[in-house]
Amino acid sequence: MGHGLEMKCTKCGFEFLSRTGVGFSFPSVYEETVLKAKSGELGDEAREFFKEHPDGAINAEYVTLCCDECGDLFTGQDLTVYAPKYGKMKRKSYVFEDDLEQYYSEGLKYHHRCKKCGGSAHIVDPDETLLCPRCRSPLEECRSILWD
């Protein structure tokens, strides 16, 4: 299931639309993400992790990200990688988020970078108050959508 959240700054008019999740295309997005990790497109750490844990998993869900430097908001994939909790597992073609919690242990968090300034970015917690990157006022939710 995908979720969208439209937010707006009532002070300066800045608008942001966050689309999280993946929806029905999850199996193909997951497989593509694993291939990118294994090929090194997601960095050397992810490539090495999958060499050590060929039956590992990755969180391919789209999340909202916030730059710790400039406060810019953007959407990207989580990309945290996971090792099996119970020894070697037969690798599925895709692993849902519920499977990650039940059968896997977090192995390595992806280090996100801001597309605007290159600073470090973090995954926004659902309870986190988002601030306008322009004027630093709290953003207000305008509308919420579900897709797929």
Residuewise pLDDT in 10s, the chain (148 residues)? 678 889 999 999 999 999 888 888 888 999 999 999 999 999 999 999 999 998 899 999 999 999 999 999 999 999 999 998 876 665 556 677 778 888 889 999 999 999 999 999 999 998 999 999 999 999 999 888 877 6
Report the alpha-carbon distance of residue 45 to residue 24 in Å, rounded. Answer: 29
- Cα end-to-end distance, the chain, whole Å: 6
The values of phi and psi at residue 70, to 5°, are -100, -10
